[in-house]
Amino acid sequence: MPATVPRNLIESAISRLRDLPAREAERVSRKAAIAAMRDEIQVALGKGYSLGEVAKILAQTDENFAGLALSTLRTYLRADRAKAAAATARKNTAKPKATPLRTPPVPIPATPRARLAGVSRTNAGLREDI
């Protein structure tokens, strides 16, 4: 026989799960760390520091950045910039595009000769009106 659970226990468990606080990760990847520091790295570059000097400063700050190659740092910054650009592009292209106005077709007038002869366009050459 399958195990059963009383309904009041379900409500109690749901309530406890809803009340759980958000838990932040203790550790993040180097890529996520560089993404979080992107603005500050850009400010340092704007102050005249090279990317190599920024990598050395990071390595001196913590041993987790000690093995970070300059090319990896450059790639992480480029990937983060591309991701931000893609998000901006998606936001800009999400707008509905205006539909072009369609003009009604212009009727083709009968030739002057046919109008004078009293011949309609549909039966031209088949019947002449007198």
Range of the domain at 89: 27-93
6 vs 93 pLDDT, higher one = 6
Residue 38 lies in a domain: yes
Query: Hey, is 123 helix, strand or coil?
Result: coil
Q: Are 114 and 121 in contact (CB under 8 A)?
A: yes
CB atoms within 10 A of CB 58: 19
> What is the predicted pLDDT for the residue at 43?
93
Residue 10 lies in a domain: no
Q: Tally helices (H) and strands (E) across the chain.
A: 6, 0
Residue 116 lies in a domain: no
Q: Are 68 and 55 in contact (CB under 8 A)?
A: yes
Q: Cα separation of 82 and 1, whole Å?
A: 56
Residue 126 lies in a domain: no
How many domains is the chain built from? 1
Residue 119 lies in a domain: no
Check: pTM over 0.75? Answer yes or no. no
- What's the pLDDT tens digit per position in 11-63? 999 999 999 998 888 888 888 999 999 999 999 999 999 999 999 999 998 88
Reply yes or no on whether the pLDDT at 113 is more than 80: no
Residue 48 lies in a domain: yes
Residue 3 lies in a domain: no
Residue 86 lies in a domain: yes
> What is the predicted pLDDT for the residue at 45?
92
